Structure 1
Amino acid sequence: MRLMIASDAWHPQVNGVVRSLEQMVRRAPAHGFQASVLSPSEFPSMPLPGYREIRLACPVPGRLAALWDAMAPTHVHIATEGPVGFAVRRRCLARRLPFTTSYHTRFPEYLAARAPVPEAWSYAYLRRFHGAAHGTMVSTPSLEGELAGRGFGHLMRWTRGVDTDLFRPAVPGAPEPAELAVLPRPFFLFVGRLAIEKNVAAFLALDLPGTKVVVGDGPDRARLEAMAPEARFLGTRTGAALAAIYAACDAFVFPSLTDTFGIVLLEALASGLPVAALPVTGPLDVIGGTAVGVLDHDLRAAALGALALSRDACRAEALRRGWDESARQFYGNILAARRRAEPEAA
């Protein structure tokens, strides 16, 4: 079986969508699939205004047809609602081919934060976009309930995971990363895109002891650095360098109000790092009901409370959240959606 994953988010972008999809591609053979990603790199593109890290593709029909023939997919999954996703959706509908989608990003809220576009308009577009799919994958029970209430149908659960071999607690006696060695403790860490929708300013405004450490980049970085010159901005880190930063810190602060999951939450837990977050979709599903984080509308109280939690308990919780279970759900959903489509085709 050959799976085409159509995504407007792919390398060199660094975000949760890319991490999730690359893990699904890596695990495809174990589920009987050969997976390929159709991304903006295959087409002419231009940088998104105000957000140059993201490129908007122009999926030329002839080029799309040639790539389609080369991939010869038996199954199609559309991961994003951008130009690549829309072009593949249109081709599937024209040829009456079943497909699945996934809902990763709260675009209505993100767009409303930048432009005077009512959220209701954006949700109407997204409802129509996903409504043509034979299954729309969502990451958490909270998000599933929210989207169902907005009229989305054929919702399927697809959890996320974490690489517990890469992200792990520091070895006792190991030296701190050089960037942190001379800074006062405790270290409160944020990892993510530096953009207005991530609410990073709420973290930087907290009156906390020690040092605030920020890993990531984005269009809001200059403003945030000017706002909090005492914080340590490390830029984008990946792989072992990112894992070392996690392991060296004392608490992870997640100020977002709009993330649908937050893979960084699992990366923090795998590193033995307790979490402080707001009680909203994402943190409620990942951290709620556990002893590995503090959820509070008072983010300062949550951050200070997280310092007292067990790092061993955080690691134990993360060990239950590997990518293998995520892949089992993902490929199971694709096969279930295909079975759902067969009576309609008949």
Structure 2
Amino acid sequence: MKKITIITDAWYPQVNGVVRSIQNTNQQLERMGVTVTMVTPQTFRNIPCPTYPEIRLSVATYWQVAREIEASAPEAVHIATEGPLGLLARRWCLKNSVPFSTSYHTRFPEYVAARFPVPIRFMQAFVRWFHNAGNGCMVATASLERELAKLGLRNLLRWSRGIDQSMFSPKPQENRPFGLPRPIFLTVGRVSVEKNLPAFLDLDLPGSKIVVGDGPARADLQRRYPHVLFTGLKTGKDLANAYAQADVFVFPSRTDTFGNTILEALASGVPVAAYPVTGPIDILEPDSRAGALNEDLQQACLDALQCSREDARALARTFTWEAASRQFLDNVRLSQSRLALPAR
């Protein structure tokens, strides 16, 4: 398998878990001698997504997408998202009897239902229709695999995630990072409704709270929580330094399918506080000293203060992009070997 074409509706300048997962995987695949061609919104005219303008929706025709895929002459096709490009790529594959794989990065039904008046059961049916047309749907965790199987998704394959251990690592801590008193409770990610940030921002905690990231809810949350520091988007070394100054990383989301930021925090030597839901429960073991899970998020935060920075770092070392990318490649090969496409 030397040539893979990946179609995704999520791509730069977006900065999110989907984009980072694909980009890191691509880098590893290229080291393995695999040529990856991307079909992304950058190729086509696009418009801002209603209620979330940072996301660009491609305005492309079937034939435009077909030409992009055919020009890449792929040995395998992977469709990463259920958006406009993903739908057109799915159509091309089925029209041409080309086996393909997909991946489930985002809780799409919940994401849409949070923004538009669409019954969640309709979106669940859409997800089932979209992914079951392929020969394999990749998911990040065992708990998510169980959830999707209950919804009727078939041919589920595991594709874990990794972490750049050279970028995210423990660093000397300042007495008053960001000019704020310790302990520092930090969260990182899109500042949007599905991230459930008020569950963190409403907590009565000692020290200081910091939100790193940007998104459509930022202006409103900054007005509502003037005592919280919103730094805006940080990337690269600035982001790594922000993680390293935290005492606890707080992950308030209940809808993420994995939580790449959890790994970034752990690699920085920062214990994690989260709800016991898909993502956190797949990374942190019940008796882990690397963090705390609790339906009472305040208690999880306080318990995480007592956790071990060394154990956090040790847990992160078990997640590598090389291993995750080999998993991805094996899944793509398996999907290609299932020559008889499932029923539509």
Match of 1:308 in 2: 306
SS at match of 1:46: strand
Summarize deviations over 1:294-325 as a string: whole Å, max 9, x none: 10011011001101111011001101111111
Match of 2:36 in 1: 35
Determine which of 295, 298, 320 is the counterpart of 1:297: 295
Match of 1:216 in 2: 213
* Larger deviation, residues 70-79 vs 80-89: 70-79
Identity percentage of aligned residues: 49
**Do residues 85 (structure 1) and 83 (structure 2) align?**
no
CA contact (8 A) 2:175 2:182 kept: no
State the Cα distance separating 1:118 from its structure 2 match. Answer: 1.4
CA contact (8 A) 1:170 1:244 kept: yes
State the Cα distance separating 1:28 from its structure 2 match. Answer: 1.2
State the Cα distance separating 1:74 from its structure 2 match. Answer: 1.2
Match of 2:142 in 1: 141
**Do residues 201 (structure 1) and 198 (structure 2) align?**
yes
* Change over 3 Å in CA distance of 1:276–1:10 after alignment to 2: same
State the Cα distance separating 1:8 from its structure 2 match. Answer: 0.2
Could you tell me the TM-score, scaled by structure 2's length? 0.96
CA distance in 2, matches of 1:90, 1:38: 15
State the Cα distance separating 1:70 from its structure 2 match. Answer: 2.5
Match of 1:341 in 2: 339
CA distance in 2, matches of 1:342, 1:49: 38
CA distance in 2, matches of 1:341, 1:235: 47
CA contact (8 A) 1:288 1:295 kept: no
Summarize deviations over 1:45-71 as a string: whole Å, max 9, x none: 100011110011022234323322331
CA distance in 2, matches of 1:68, 1:154: 24
Please tell me the root mean square deviation across aligned C-alpha atoms, in Å: 1.5
CA distance in 1, matches of 2:207, 2:128: 45
Summarize deviations over 1:139-182 as a string: whole Å, max 9, x none: 000000010011100000000111111000014xx6579xx342
CA distance in 2, matches of 1:278, 1:258: 10
Which structure 2 segments of 5+ residues have no match?
none
CA distance in 2, matches of 1:312, 1:303: 18
SS at match of 1:301: helix
Could you tell me the TM-score, scaled by structure 1's length? 0.95
| Letter of the 1:329 counterpart | Q
Summarize deviations over 1:104-140 as a string: whole Å, max 9, x none: 1011112222222111100100100001100000000
Match of 1:164 in 2: 165
Match of 1:320 in 2: 318
* Change over 3 Å in CA distance of 1:184–1:222 after alignment to 2: same
| Letter of the 1:221 counterpart | R
Equivalence map 1:1-346=2 (5 Å): 1-171=2-172, 180-289=177-286, 290-341=288-339
SS at match of 1:341: coil
Summarize deviations over 1:200-244 as a string: whole Å, max 9, x none: 011000001111010011111111111110111000111111000
Which structure 1 segments of 5+ residues have no match?
none
State the Cα distance separating 1:187 from its structure 2 match. Answer: 0.5
CA contact (8 A) 1:31 1:331 kept: no
* Change over 3 Å in CA distance of 1:152–1:181 after alignment to 2: closer
CA distance in 2, matches of 1:57, 1:84: 7
CA distance in 1, matches of 2:341, 2:120: 35
